[in-house]
Amino acid sequence: MGRLTPGFHRRGEGRAEDADEGRLPPGQYLTHDFPVLSAGPTPDVGTDEWTFTVQNETGDELTWTWQEFMNLPQEHPTVDIHCVTRWSKFGTTWTGVSLDTLLEDVETAADYAVAYCHGGYTTNLPLEDLTDGKAWIAHSFEDEPLAPEHGGPARLVVPHLYFWKSAKWVRGIRLTLQDEPGFWETAGYHDYGDPWREQRYSWS
């Protein structure tokens, strides 16, 4: 379930040799652009006001300011990403902080997490899909500060799941004992969202 599959040319623009490498999930097409898809307007969030909070199931919290977050160990994952609208983008490079680092000092018995964002967006994930090098809070894309339309100043990046799980404008992770479906999940999208199993919708 934790497979890492280390988006906008038109359908059919993906190279056959890329698909032959087994990097393109079923039903996807390759793009070299990066489409902008959002559930609502782009929030205006400055780094002077940005914070990130991890809350466990008992309500205990750890919070980082932007400067504290930037002082944490930074990683530079290069990963393929896959949107539920069927585009995939290969070899994207991000800079950010691993969820392993952010969760290191958190005491929890939780099995699930809810990412919550400026603008009210939420999405749910099993906690194991955020750990062991599978997820980051990213502030840069291709060595440039993350643009607001792509989730800046910081977004969640969980590349082994459909990209709606990589919540834009993220401001915290809440750990839960029970699964709590988020914005798109309550609207009929799949609860988990594995692109390799084409888990696009709840009836998939």
* SS3 per-residue string spanning 105-149: CCCCCCCEEEEEECCCCEEEEEHHHCCCCCCEEEEEECCEECCHH
Report the candidate in 138, 132, 130 with the shortest Cα–Cα distance to residue 174: 130
Q: Render pLDDT for 125-166 as a digit per residue (tens, 0 to 9).
A: 999 999 999 999 999 999 999 999 999 999 999 999 999 999
* Amino acid sitting at position 97: V
Report the candidate in 79, 76, 96 with the shortest Cα–Cα distance to residue 163: 79
Place of tokens 């609860």: 191
Report the candidate in 167, 168, 202, 166 with the shortest Cα–Cα distance to residue 185: 202
Q: Render pLDDT for 55-79 as a digit per residue (tens, 0 to 9).
A: 999 999 999 999 999 999 999 999 9
Place of tokens 């609207």: 187
The predicted pLDDT at position 6 comes to: 33
Question: What backbone phi and psi angles, to 5 degrees, belong to 157?
Answer: -125, 115
Q: What secondary structure does DSSP assign to 5-49, as a single string?
A: ----SPTT-S-HHHHHTT-S-TT-EE-SS-----SSPPP---TTT
Q: What is the mean pLDDT of residues 116-133?
A: 97
The predicted pLDDT at position 90 comes to: 97
Both tokens of 97, joined, read 């902080």
For the stretch 174-201, what's the b/e string if a residue is b when 16 or more beta carbons lie within 10 angstroms of its beta carbon? bbbeeeeebbbbeeebbebbbbeebbbe
Q: What is the mean pLDDT of residues 165-169?
A: 98
Which pTM value belongs to this model?
A: 0.88
Which residue segments constitute the domains of the chain, with CATH numbers given? 50-76+93-197 (3.90.420.10)
